């Protein structure tokens, strides 16, 4: 009989007749919410890299770890804490957002919600207000839902198993691996945009990474390249390399530790790789916002929790966001169409506003454009000055708000800028 230890568990190797057997004995004890996450209720997972894969390359991880230790980032606020809550919070914020933009939000969140229990107990409106301006607001809603689930399901301790993390709201496969690696030393592969770019250039992958078969193959490579030790340095090294040297444009190849083996550099194709997504015509939409102002206050509407700007306060819209047909590539073309639409609907807008007060004057502001990832939104604002406002009932999603409170509200970025401009004119 042989006895082996795996993390906090016991594995006993016995032989029954001619047949070898393994008996698994869990040694984990219940952990209270107040204890350190260094001993989570879920067993620490240490996955052995696939050494039989033709992608296996121990030199890659060794070179990357050595580079990260000497040249990588080591003083980011969430680093070197071993705190899964802080790691998770930073990883969610860093999704499609640069480090410099994330840091002030991260620090404000920690000040307001120092633990996952504090975040879970907070009203979602408070979370959304603190997130306002960081974009991709579905992340904030999922952040709140995830915190509540971790508290309810795991007593406030994030699991160390990436598959369990992946099952939580807002945590994808790559994010789950990063949280597990940084918090618990779990050996698991990440594959975010930065990593895909590094792999595409270093290994000369001549296909768009968004194609499922290509992405599946990238995951196989990512798993095969994993080191058996120092997973945190390796994972951080991939992130640092993609964010600081192997950038989307103007990569700093002279300082790259993989210049000597980079296919893209050798072939002069760093500008071509990774292969770009096939271009498709960007959609354009339009909306007509109603800006009602009375005695230093404006009328705001709580948006539905789903869809664009879900859960945020915003200006009421006449018909929501509708598709805009642009017949030419002329930059002024959409504005001309938009002006025509807003003029047609002005009477209807006026009828709606009459429900909330007596109109003293109205003014159509110049249209402006806000760009999302997948479409452009052309915004037209009709500014109504209300001389006397009416009380309204049955409209729980509407409220009058002083312009002085704009800074503290969860508002879409273009709406906040508009109201800040209006507020500055009234001072």
b/e per residue, 199-231, with b = 16+ CB within 10 A?
bbbbbebeeebeeeebeebbeebbbbbbbeebb
Structure tokens at 327: 């017949």
Cα(first)–Cα(last) distance of the chain, in Å? 82
Q: Which of 239, 146, 218, 223 is nearest to 189 (CA)?
A: 223
Sign of the Cα pseudo-torsion (188, 255, 243, 264, in order)? negative
Asked if residues 314 and 412 have their Cβ atoms less than 8 Å apart, the reply is yes
- In whole angstroms, what is the distance from residue 404 CA to residue 346 CA? 28
Structure tokens at 279: 């271009």
Contacts 24+ apart (CB under 8 A), 263-267: 263/201, 263/202, 263/203, 263/204, 264/200, 264/201, 264/202, 264/204, 265/201, 267/204
Structure tokens at 355: 């429900």
Name the β-bridge partners of 293: 298, 385
Cα angle value 143/96/200 (rounded, 5°): 130
Backbone angles phi, psi at 114, to 5 degrees: -70, -15
Question: Could you write out the DSSP letters of every residue in 1-65?
Answer: -EEEEETTEEEEEEEETTEEEEEEE-------TTS-TTS-SSPPPBPPP-TTSTT--HHHHHHHH
DSSP state of 78: T
Structure tokens at 357: 């007060």
DSSP state of 325: -
Catalytic option among 51, 59, 91, 223: 91
Active site residue 230: no
Q: What share of the chain is helix, strand, coil (3-state, %, to 5)?
A: 40, 20, 40
Annotated catalytic sites, by residue? 91
């Amino acid at each position: 009989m042989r006895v082996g230890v795996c993390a906090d568990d016991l594995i006993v190797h016995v032989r029954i007749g001619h047949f070898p057997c393994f008996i698994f004995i869990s040694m984990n004890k219940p952990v209270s919410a107040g204890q350190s996450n260094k001993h989570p209720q879920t067993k620490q997972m240490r996955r052995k890299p696939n050494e039989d894969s033709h992608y296996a390359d121990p030199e890659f991880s060794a070179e990357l770890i050595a580079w990260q230790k000497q040249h990588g980032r080591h003083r980011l606020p969430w680093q070197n804490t071993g705190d899964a809550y802080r790691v998770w919070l930073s990883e969610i914020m860093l999704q499609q957002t640069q480090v410099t933009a994330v840091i002030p939000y991260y620090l404000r969140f920690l000040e307001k919600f120092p633990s996952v229990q504090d975040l879970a107990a907070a009203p979602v409106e408070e979370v959304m207000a603190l997130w306002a301006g960081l974009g991709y607001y579905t992340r904030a809603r999922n952040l709140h839902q995830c915190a509540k689930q971790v508290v309810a399901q795991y007593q406030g301790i994030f699991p160390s198993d990436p598959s369990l993390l992946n099952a939580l709201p807002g945590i994808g496969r790559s994010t789950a691996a990063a949280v597990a690696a940084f918090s618990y030393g779990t050996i698991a592969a990440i594959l975010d945009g930065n990593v895909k770019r590094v792999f595409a250039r270093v290994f000369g992958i001549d296909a768009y990474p968004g194609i499922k078969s290509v992405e599946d193959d990238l995951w196989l490579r990512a798993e095969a390249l994993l080191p058996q030790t120092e997973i945190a340095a390796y994972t951080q090294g991939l992130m640092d390399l993609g964010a600081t040297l192997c950038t989307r444009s103007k990569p700093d190849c002279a300082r790259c530790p993989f210049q000597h083996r980079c296919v893209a550099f050798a072939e002069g194709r760093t500008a071509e790789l990774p292969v770009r997504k096939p271009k498709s015509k960007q959609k354009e939409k339009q909306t007509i916002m109603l800006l009602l102002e009375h005695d230093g206050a404006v009328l705001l509407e709580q948006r539905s929790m789903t869809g664009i700007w879900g859960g945020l306060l915003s200006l009421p819209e006449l018909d929501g966001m509708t598709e805009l047909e642009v017949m030419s590539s002329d930059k002024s073309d959409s504005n001309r169409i938009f002006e025509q639409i807003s003029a047609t609907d002005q009477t209807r807008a006026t009828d709606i506003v009459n429900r909330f007060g007596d109109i003293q004057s109205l003014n159509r502001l110049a249209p402006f454009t806000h760009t999302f990832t997948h479409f452009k939104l052309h915004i037209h604002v009709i500014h109504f000055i209300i001389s006397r406002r009416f009380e309204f009932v049955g409209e729980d999603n509407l409220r009058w708000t002083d312009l002085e409170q704009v800074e503290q509200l969860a508002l879409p970025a273009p709406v906040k800028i508009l109201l800040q401009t209006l507020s500055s004119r009234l001072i």
